[in-house]
Structure 1
Amino acid sequence: MKVLAIAGSNSGASINKQLVTYAASIFENAEVEVVDMNQFEMPIYKHERELEGGIPQQAKDFAAKIDGANILLISLAEHNGTYSTAFKNVFDWVSRIKDRAVFNEVPMLLMATSPGGRGGAGVLEAATKRFPLHGGNIIETFSLPFFNDNFDKSAQKISNEEKSSELKTKIQKIATLESILQK
């Protein structure tokens, strides 16, 4: 089973990257790849750019990573209630690939975290409404509020037992579903 873990942030200290990396580590017997959004930095999408130069190779490479995965783990940074510009730009470019649904119906665990009590609720709401329109097969969602209180940075894991158990249950559900689909 191949798990593609995506943090929707280009920050070197991204708490969403820490969360998605931890979540990916919970999968047993899986090949895991954690994506760095900085590898997919492209000019900001503009229709004229697309007409002049076509789709950037980075967008095609990102789409290929999605296509090669059995499970997507996506943890989105929330910037003013929605996705970060870094994630949105990649999303926009990939959506322009002819005859392509961005997420290609790959089963997905959609997550978010933040230092505050809402745990990325705004971005999760935006994504759960938008992603299915672009081939997003969201099986579960997970929110970790108060990241600095609920995540042990030295151990690189969720320290809040209730939230840790919730995440593990959701990962087990999606892993079981994927193993059934592979048969």
Structure 2
Amino acid sequence: MTTHTLLGIPGALRAGSTNRKLLAEALRLYGPADKQVADLRLPLYDGDLEDTRGIPPEVQRLADQVAAADAVIVASPEYNKCIPGVLKNALDWISRTKGGPWNGKPVALISANAGRTGGETGQFTIRHAMTPFRPRFVLGPQVMVADSGNAFDDAGRLTSERYTKALSGLMEQLRAEVDLLRAGPDAQA
């Protein structure tokens, strides 16, 4: 069987963010795969820019990465009870590209936040924002790391067995979803 292709999308730009650490853990726990991490340093969506210059190359590259991936992991903080601007901007831009790269794509959402809910509302808003693109959300186990500043050791590994177990389970479900899609429609019945 061919290797899975996995794309990680961090909803935070900061290199040391706990969501980047959580994404690295998810990629590690997923197991063998060709893995990439997306860059969300994109221009702000602007219809005039799109009309005069077309889709920016960095946006097309991101859309192509989504399309080429067998599955996508979105690791994002919750900003002010909502989706981070950089992630929403990326979703808006991708929606303007051809081919519907999210359609039918297995997607797992994970979050790490300083607060006690671990980004629960942020995950809800991300799912809401992505629903029109028709991805195949892998819904559980849910991973919402609370008090995220204290959730990782110096090597960037989760310190809680509970979070590690949930993340491992979610990655197993995501891998199973990819395998199911590869097996074809008869296996999905």
| TM-score for both structures, normalised by structure 1 | 0.89
Count of residues paired in the alignment = 178
One-letter amino acid of the structure 1 residue matched with residue 155 of structure 2 = A
Distance between the aligned counterparts of 1:117 and 1:55, measured in 2?
39
Q: 1:82-97 maps to which residues of 2 (within 5 A)?
A: 82-97=82-97
1:1-150 aligned at under 5 Å gives the runs: 1-38=4-41, 41-42=42-43, 44-98=44-98, 100-101=99-100, 103-140=102-139, 141-150=142-151
Instruction: Specify whether residues 12 and 92 from structure 1 end up closer, same or farther in structure 2 by C-alpha distance, changes over 3 A only.
Output: same
* CA contact 1:72–1:109 (8 Å) conserved in 2: yes
- What secondary structure sits across from 1:110 in the alignment? strand
Within 1, Cα distance between the matches of 2:17 and 2:126?
19
SS state at 2:107 partner? strand
Aligned to 1:138, the other structure's residue is in SS state strand
Paired AA for residue 165 in structure 2: S
Letter in 1 for 2:152: F
CA RMSD of aligned residues (A): 1.6
Once residues 91 and 102 of structure 1 are traced to their aligned partners in structure 2, the CA distance between those partners, rounded to angstroms, is 11
What is aligned with 1:151? Answer: 152
The alignment-based identity, stated in percent, is 21
Shift in Å, 1:119: 0.8
2:60 & 2:8 partners in 1: Cα distance?
Answer: 17
Q: Is the 8 A contact 1:102 1:135 kept in 2?
A: no
What 5-or-longer segments of structure 2 have no aligned partner? Answer: 184-189
> Structure 1: which 5+ residue stretches go unaligned?
none
Contact 1:6 1:36 in 2 (8 A): yes
* Per-residue deviation, residues 93-149 of structure 1 (Å, max 9, x unmatched): 111124x43523210111111111121112111112221211322113421111122
